[in-house]
Amino acid sequence: MNIKTVVVTGGAGNIAYSLVFRISEIYGKEQKIHLKLVDIDSNLEKLRGVQMELEDCFFPWLEKISCYGNCKEGFKDADIVLLVGAKPRGPGMERKDLLKDNGKIFKEQAGFLEPKEDLKVLVVGNPCNTNALMIKRYSKISSKSVMAMTMLDELRGRTHLRKKGLESSKVKVYGNHSPTMVVVPHGIDDIESITNTFMPVVQKRGAEIINARGASSAASAANAIINHMIHWLEGNTYFSAATYDRNDDIFFSTYIRGNDIDSIPVKRAFDEYKDIPEIVNKLKITKEELLKERNEIEGL
């Protein structure tokens, strides 16, 4: 069996620590994996600590583990690249400043991605939609090889429905991974309840977690990464993810299949809800936010 190479950036961070011990779930435990952890030079000693813990687990699927302080070597021969690492938003920092700081980071990373058949790059570091745009613009890989993650929002929505006794196999996430996201559960026709109750719960969940534990989501984000990649590799199941829209030059989340990624997710979303003005108005807001973010990173 050939060895798959999986790269995780921000390898010394909290999300990565919750993720790397479960990496085998993406391919299945029979698949041998070369796991490459990438972080800034000052975190290399922490990476070594993670490496030692992984080695001590004696996982049969872990063929090799390598640690890097640069993307040039870290991204080489990758089959999957999970772009988890990003600068966090600090106190008093405006979103546009975070966009510019992380835009520079992701622009640099984009230059080291090697075009390869079946390469899959998942952008997790926020603001993930616009960071994904930087990867698309400044790399040589296909736009269909890049997605931004909104699976965590889908899972949060499904969790809320389950707690209310309203189990649903489908929760569709549209637009930006931000408080403007549009979240629509399948099989519930009460639009007022969706827009005024259900949607705000999902939109505010990340902030709730930060307030409760003093840190952003880590284990749940790692779980969403694994779920996203399983769906993407499987190809035939539907899930929420942000893909590139060729008309508006943004990454816009819709409900897709991994082997059926179109290049007009914005049109798909608006066409689906054209008869529901409450949803259309919210789609317009999240689209405008993404266009604004796109404009703010011009010139980087």
Of 95, 130, 149, which residue is a domain's last? 149
Q: pLDDT at residue 262 above 80? A: no
Report the sign of the C-alpha dihedral through residues 248, 244, 39, 12, in that order.
positive
Q: What is the pLDDT of residues 163-187, one digit of tens each?
A: 988 766 689 999 999 999 999 998 8
- For residues 155 and 111, membership in a common domain is answered with no
Of 131, 149, 167, which residue is a domain's last? 149
pLDDT at 266: 97
Instruction: Supply 63's token pair.
Output: 């063929």
- For residues 8 and 140, membership in a common domain is answered with yes
- For residues 9 and 145, membership in a common domain is answered with yes
pLDDT at 37: 98
Q: What is the pLDDT of residues 4-26, one digit of tens each?
A: 999 999 999 999 999 999 999 99
Q: Which domain holds residue 61?
A: 4-149
Catalytic residue numbers?
177
Q: pLDDT at residue 91 above 70? A: no
- For residues 119 and 130, membership in a common domain is answered with yes
* Spatial separation of the C-alpha atoms in residues 106 and 103, rounded to whole Å: 5
- For residues 226 and 285, membership in a common domain is answered with yes
Task: Name the nearest CA neighbour of 44 among 10, 67, 21.
Answer: 67
State the CATH number of the domain containing residue 249. 3.90.110.10
- For residues 88 and 31, membership in a common domain is answered with yes
| pTM, rounded to two decimals | 0.96
- For residues 213 and 260, membership in a common domain is answered with yes
CB atoms closer than 10 angstroms to residue 52: 10
> CB–CB of 176/286 below 8 Å?
yes
Of 149, 171, 195, which residue is a domain's last? 149
Which residue, chain included where needed, has tokens 């990373």?
109
pLDDT band, very low/low/confident/very high, at 93 (cuts 50, 70, 90): low
> CB–CB of 229/122 below 8 Å?
yes
- For residues 160 and 286, membership in a common domain is answered with yes
pLDDT at 87: 85
> How many CA atoms, within 13 angstroms, populate the side-chain half-sphere of residue 1?
13
Q: What is the pLDDT of residues 140-160, one digit of tens each?
A: 999 999 999 999 999 999 999
- For residues 91 and 115, membership in a common domain is answered with yes
- For residues 219 and 144, membership in a common domain is answered with no
pLDDT at 88: 78
State the CATH number of the domain containing residue 74. 3.40.50.720
What is the distance between the terminal CA atoms of the chain, rounded to a whole angstrom? 42
Instruction: Supply 212's token pair.
Output: 């409760």
pLDDT at 49: 98
Q: What is the pLDDT of residues 197-250, one digit of tens each?
A: 999 999 999 889 988 988 889 999 999 999 999 999 999 899 999 999 999 999
pLDDT band, very low/low/confident/very high, at 273 (cuts 50, 70, 90): very high
Report the sign of the C-alpha dihedral through residues 40, 44, 48, 50, in that order.
negative
Residues 6+ apart with CB under 8 A from 30: 1, 61
- For residues 35 and 143, membership in a common domain is answered with yes
> CB–CB of 224/155 below 8 Å?
yes
* Spatial separation of the C-alpha atoms in residues 242 and 45, rounded to whole Å: 34
pLDDT at 291: 97
pLDDT at 277: 96
Domain count, the chain: 2
- For residues 181 and 263, membership in a common domain is answered with yes
DSSP state of 194: I
> CB–CB of 282/292 below 8 Å?
no
Q: What is the pLDDT of residues 28-85, one digit of tens each?
A: 999 999 999 999 999 999 999 999 999 999 999 999 999 999 999 999 999 999 999 9
> CB–CB of 253/244 below 8 Å?
no
